[in-house]
Structure 1
Amino acid sequence: MTHHILKATTETVHLGGFSHLLKPALMVNSGDTVDVETFTGYYIYDKAPPEFLTPEFVDICQNLPAERKIAGGPHLLTGPIYVRDAEPGDVLEVRLEVIAPSLPVGFNAIRTGWGALPQQFTQPALRFIPLDLANNIAEFPPNSGIKIPLTPFFGILGVATPQSDRNSIPPGNYGGNIDNRELQAGSRIFLPIYVPGALFSIGDGHSAQGDGEVNVTAIETSMNGRISLTLRKDLSLTTPIAETPTDIITMGFAETLDAALEQALKNMIAFLQDFTNLSAEEAYILCSLAVNFRITQVVNSPHKGVHGMLPKSIFSPKMSL
């Protein structure tokens, strides 16, 4: 196993989407670890305070090559990372070992026509929010005494598909813009692989977010992390599954919350059938008794997200993927 360092530069990031035609930013073997750097705020950098701007980030914003601008999404992603021997039908296990903001400031933006209440909050608004990294909190509004714990995670964890210009906004079976705040350091996500090498990309750092991400953004933050990438040829998945220290997580993405809930539930039933040998009916009952279904996000048009959380503690011995 080898340890790599992947800095964010004009040659190692891409904007707005995923593409299997992108030149890989890094090639790794299964089991390798990567220290990865990500930036956020490509479209608002000219409005940002000095502490939000680094020379490397400004260079990306001013000089990113046209071939690394993929689609119309707002996200700046680091990658793709090519995993040797990865083939369609395999599963990529991404272990999130360390996640930490790289700058003492993030931002929140209301965008016209987006969010859960676009008819009520019609005017765009951009706020930069200081991060107290020493005490791991953000105070908002300023001087209010309201202190939000920082729980950093990457909103986007995804692989490429045969589509060459997939927009980074909607999540799907490839992962992508999941925006699941449960995926903090110590968790793992398992992604179906669709193209040779997997072509994994990461970004959209969030320092804090509520379930739903209702105004369309969290505290958006340039974020560093350490990840490990492992091929799981022993698994067969058609949708992402995640594991935290306490829970197994299935996901559903659809145009309505009802449909997303139904998909997350069906995925949990299928998981229980495959991994615990329960019948479909037994799994359905167990979901009603013990699984917690939560709104992931409602703003990544056209897909809303719901995730189901299965406590590992109810199994003896304790379950793990």
Structure 2
Amino acid sequence: MTDTIIKVDLSQTPYENDMIHNRWHPDIPMVATVKPGADFIVECYDWTGGFIKNNDSAADVRDIDLSIVHFLSGPIGVAGAEPGDLLVVDILDIGVFPHNSWGFNGFFSKKNGGGFLTEHFPEAQKSIWDIKGMFTRSRHVPGVGFAGLVHPGLIGCLPSASLLETWNAREATLIATNPSRVPPLANPPFAATAHLGRLKGDARAAAAATGARTVPPREHGGNCDIKDLSRGAKVFFPVYVNGAGLSMGDLHFSQGDGEITFCGAIEMPGWIHLKVEVIKDGMAKYGIKTPIFKPSPIKPQYDDYLIFEGISVDEAGEQHYLDVNVAYRQACLNAISYLQKFGYSAAQAYAILGTAPVQGHISGVVDIPNSCATLWLPTGIFDFDINPGAAGPQKMIAGDVDVPLAPDL
């Protein structure tokens, strides 16, 4: 039997569990140590630690204090791992807790984190997704269902003291360019809500004051939201501290490329089965300074897509130079506009793009002044035909049922 080395109790808050942390800092103590070649199971809270509930109100999405996230299981030490090595992590399996077979997707309000399309969706909303085996459907988004590609949105190793200092300095410089921006340009350290596992006393206070927030991806991995890190994936992480300090969380049942709603996948608690190895001096051997990975061989099989293009011209008609961010935003907005013709609200269409296995591609970055980004929408996830035709768009389901997303009450 494979050992479960970190367990969570969903009836308790993550702050009551000393095998959980919500900041990155090299002084956070390892909560378990494994040997190279070992496999083990880790249980995880959802990224909010249970703050979001299975109901029809988005008040929880509106009111959440985002300084508490993400709640991560770990850090796990790997015997013999040293700075400069590569930690090889095989994701053997990953799944839903049988007693908690649902997940959530949300749009944060612009005042509290926003999202990729926050100017178009400034108010908090959410959808609840029921999980039945490999598949999911939502009472808030009718006419659509799909197989999940379960993965950790966040996984990585502890930073060294010097790397942490680099993160904090460069992000502070960015914040200083527009410190009053809403939503902010970055999230600086915030001691009041820091959870640092088993770190105590003066060392805890010092780490809380400087510990990096978990929102962005960085050189160590972190919150990369790569949907293909599912069963059978292999990740090569740079090691920056003795023991590596592997942590993970933010499990997703499914996600579209880009996680565009920010709370943008189908978020859930669950478990992950891992195996670890170490490549000595691997960073120098392979010239690696950020993680690389081999994707899962298991994917939802959708082979028919509608592909929406976007170019580097924003909603106001302003021309940008080879801006892929603007181009992908336009591709998403074009897909949302299209789905509205079939009876979906703009919010329901946005939720589909954030949760379903849509693909995002950078299709062209050399044809000045416009980059071309594309969003690939699988047609097979719908209960009806969404392809263009002479008869015009049919409505999503018989009776033209209108079920809104849970609003910000």
TM-aligned CA distance change 1:257 to 1:24, over 3 Å? farther
Match of 2:41, SS state, is: strand
Bigger Rg, which one: 2
- What is the deviation of 1:166? 1.6
Give the partner amino acid of 1:48.
Answer: K
Match of 2:180 in 1: none
Give the partner amino acid of 1:7.
Answer: K
TM-aligned CA distance change 1:4 to 1:218, over 3 Å? closer
Correspondence for 1:152 among 150, 153, 156? 150
Q: Does structure 2 conserve the Cα–Cα contact (< 8 Å) formed by 1:4 and 1:32?
A: no
- What is the deviation of 1:137? 1.1
- What is the deviation of 1:90? 0.5
* Identity score, percent: 27
Task: Give, in whole Å, the separation in 2 of the partners of 1:257 and 1:33.
Answer: 43
Task: Map residues 134-145 of structure 1 onto 2, 5 A cutoff.
Answer: 136-142=134-140, 144-145=142-143
Which 4+ residue blocks in structure 1 deviate beyond 6 angstroms?
none
Match of 2:225 in 1: 179
How high is the TM-score relative to the length of structure 1?
Answer: 0.66
Residue 191, structure 1, aligned to residue 237, structure 2: yes
Match of 1:129 in 2: 129
Task: Give, in whole Å, the separation in 1 of the partners of 2:75 and 2:226.
Answer: 21
TM-aligned CA distance change 1:148 to 1:257, over 3 Å? farther
Q: Does structure 1 conserve the Cα–Cα contact (< 8 Å) formed by 2:85 and 2:238?
A: yes
Structure with the higher fraction of residues in strand conformation? 1
TM-aligned CA distance change 1:293 to 1:112, over 3 Å? closer
Q: Pairwise CA RMSD of aligned residues?
A: 2.8
Correspondence for 2:95 among 91, 100, 114? 100
- What is the deviation of 1:8? 2.7
Match of 2:270 in 1: 223
Match of 1:111 in 2: 108
Task: Give, in whole Å, the separation in 2 of the partners of 1:245 and 1:43.
Answer: 27
Q: Does structure 2 conserve the Cα–Cα contact (< 8 Å) formed by 1:96 and 1:226?
A: yes
Task: Give, in whole Å, the separation in 2 of the partners of 1:98 and 1:230.
Answer: 17
Give the partner amino acid of 1:180.
Answer: I
Give the partner amino acid of 1:225.
Answer: I
Match of 1:229, SS state, is: strand
- What is the deviation of 1:43? 5.9
Task: Give, in whole Å, the separation in 2 of the partners of 1:76 and 1:203.
Answer: 7
Give the partner amino acid of 2:251.
Answer: G
TM-aligned CA distance change 1:210 to 1:147, over 3 Å? same
Q: Does structure 2 conserve the Cα–Cα contact (< 8 Å) formed by 1:31 and 1:230?
A: yes
TM-aligned CA distance change 1:294 to 1:198, over 3 Å? farther
Match of 1:131, SS state, is: strand
Give the partner amino acid of 1:29.
Answer: K
Q: Deviations over 1:29-82 (max 9, x none)?
A: 11111111001153652x5149xxxxxxxxxxxxxxxxxxxx936211100001
Match of 2:67, SS state, is: coil
TM-aligned CA distance change 1:37 to 1:110, over 3 Å? same
Match of 2:214 in 1: 168
Match of 1:126, SS state, is: strand
Match of 1:62 in 2: none
Task: Map residues 1-321 of structure 1 onto 2, 5 A cutoff.
Answer: 3=3, 5-8=5-8, 10-15=17-22, 17-42=23-48, 45=51, 48-49=53-54, 72=67, 74-102=69-97, 103-113=100-110, 114-133=114-133, 136-142=134-140, 144-161=142-159, 162=161, 163=164, 164=207, 165-216=211-262, 217-233=264-280, 235-236=282-283, 237-244=288-295, 294=361
- Structure 2 residue runs without a partner (length 5+): 10-16, 56-65, 165-206, 299-321, 326-358, 363-372, 374-409
TM-aligned CA distance change 1:44 to 1:221, over 3 Å? closer
Match of 1:283 in 2: none
Aligned pairs, number: 231
Task: Give, in whole Å, the separation in 2 of the partners of 1:142 and 1:126.
Answer: 8
Match of 1:302 in 2: none
Task: Give, in whole Å, the separation in 1 of the partners of 2:79 and 2:144.
Answer: 47
TM-aligned CA distance change 1:4 to 1:140, over 3 Å? closer
- Structure 1 residue runs without a partner (length 5+): 51-70, 248-255, 260-291, 296-305, 307-321
How high is the TM-score relative to the length of structure 2?
Answer: 0.52
Task: Give, in whole Å, the separation in 1 of the partners of 2:276 and 2:40.
Answer: 8
TM-aligned CA distance change 1:41 to 1:241, over 3 Å? closer
TM-aligned CA distance change 1:245 to 1:130, over 3 Å? closer
Match of 1:72, SS state, is: helix
Give the partner amino acid of 2:148.
Answer: L
